[in-house]
Amino acid sequence: MASLSSCFTMSPTKSRPTVNSFARVPTPRPAAAAPFPGVSYKFPNFKASRLVVRASSVDVTTPIRPGAAVETDKLPADVRNRTMDAVDGCGGRVTLGDVAGRAGLKLNEAQKALQALAADTDGFLEVSDEGDVLYVFPKDYRTKLAAKSFRLKIEPLVDKTKSTAEYLIRVSFGTALVASVVVVYTTIILLLSSRSDDDRRERRSSRSYGSGFNMYFNPIDLFRIWDPYYYRRRREQVDVNENMNFLESIFSFVFGDGDPNQGLEEERWKLIGQYISSNGGVVTAEELAPYLDIQTKDVNDESYVLPVLLKFDGQPEIDEEGNIVYRFPSLQRTASSQRSGRKEYVGRSKRWTDWVGGVQNYLEEKKLEFSKTNASERAMVIGLGGLNLFGVIVLGAMMKEMPITQGGWIQFVSSIFPLLQVYAGSFFAIPLVRWFLVSKSNAEIEKRNILRKEFAKVLELPDLSLRRKILSARDMAQKTVIGQDRIVYSTERDIIGQEIEAEDWERRFREIENKSE
């Protein structure tokens, strides 16, 4: 197997490749270090001298070098997983644009991820007659990667540990409330009992009341409370709509249940990349607006498109009528066989809803929830929290009036009483502050959703000028499918076996060049 970096050099360029953009490549030096160990390298005079690799497709200064180190372990887990999902979705044969568009990654992120995956899973590269680089992976590449990567082996254990730790934190906070109630009211009863023997009857009544408060408590429930799977099993048996156990509902009421829009940026770039790819790599700014965060509907410029241009290496172009459209060359090249023609032009008879190509027509954020607890759970939590706060207030007043003896339970409670006060106060202060923040955030989310939805509606019924602009972008769009018939070089085979094919390609290229002259 030969290395791509040993056979080709690259001339970076931003312009679209033409016949004149191909340059002669020097013959590789046999003394160069072999990037693929164990493979015999004997380089002939390779005749495909006019072929270069697209600058946007591969960085030949960092060739694929499989070895002892697992290159994929150096990637962020999110980038690795998104890349692998994109590879699976494209059938294991992809271009850089396929992965960047489907996974919503920057081109350099997708390139590094593909090179690392290819190095670790015995993947190989293919080069088309126009210099496009394709990454091809075996069907069992995930199995091969899992066998090599220690990180992939321990990630499930780490995730399970984190999940257990998060569960314990949630349950511990609820347990602290129950413990606080028990400590506070036990201390109150002890203080009352120490006043005088004349209050013995009242003290017994208080104990009876305290006993009545716990009369429905079942010790077996302690095991059920601390069993992470008990309520999951119970939901399956009793009510599928039951969300969480009581201790978890306490944490949910105070701190909430996390951001429902986690991963929104990933989803945003996936939608944008898929939309551009499905429309031939040429779009207008108005088509991208439903996926971006624009502060006002009345925009005087198209500067909001800049992040998209930087993300997917796009460039502005002027059409025949003077309108600005945006071309993304890397997203116009694909290895997917779903597209039939080599260059697919979008006709003028399609509506905008057809141009979306199955992609969600605008990005919708979810509103934040104050808590996922239902009304009855919330009432129980507030009631228990109020009972605890009332008990702390009463206990504080009693401890000021009565002398505290050294040692014993009363002295211990006196030492931790500031913590009990902080807990009781923050139990309602934190949700109150959070309620204002959630209300403010939801108002901003609703505003952004309304704006994006309005931008999408404008595209559904565009005016004449916008319609002409979008139709112009559709006419300029193209999609090039790189099939096996266009592959002139592959690192899967030895370079010597491809010399004859290269000579034939060189002959055909010269014929085309002579005709053009």
List pLDDT tens digits, range 373-396. 999 999 999 999 999 999 999 999
Residue 200 corresponds to which tokens in the numbers above?
């013995």
H or E element at residue 135: strand 133-136
Other Cβ atoms closer than 10 A to 240:
7
Comparison of pLDDT for 23 and 309, the residue scoring more: 309
pLDDT-derived band at 274, boundaries 50, 70, 90: very high
Q: Convert the pLDDT of each residue in 399-458 to its tens digit.
A: 888 776 667 888 899 999 999 999 999 999 999 999 999 999 999 999 999 999 999 999
pLDDT-derived band at 516, boundaries 50, 70, 90: low
**125 contacts 134 by C-beta, under 8 angstroms:** yes
Comparison of pLDDT for 355 and 168, the residue scoring more: 168
Q: How far is CA 95 from CA 87, 98, 167, 303, 336, in A?
A: 9, 5, 42, 29, 9
Residue (of 378, 424, 427) closest to 254 by Cα position: 427
Strand order in the sheet with 315-318: 282-283, 324-327, 315-318
pLDDT of residue 361: 87
Virtual CA dihedral for 210, 216, 219, 220, nearest 10 degrees? -170
pLDDT of residue 194: 75
Domains of the chain, by residue range, sit at 4-148+486-516, 166-194+243-482
Q: Convert the pLDDT of each residue in 2-21 to its tens digit.
A: 443 334 333 333 433 333 33
Average the pLDDT over 318-347 and give the result. Answer: 73
Instruction: Give one DSSP letter per residue of 271-296, joined into a string.
Output: HHHHHHHHTTTEE-HHHHGGGS--S-
Average pLDDT of the residues of the chain: 77
Q: Mark residue 280 as left, alpha or beta (left: phi above 0; alpha: psi -120 to 50; beta: remaining).
A: left
Task: Tell whether pTM > 0.75.
Answer: no
pLDDT of residue 295: 86
pLDDT of residue 501: 61
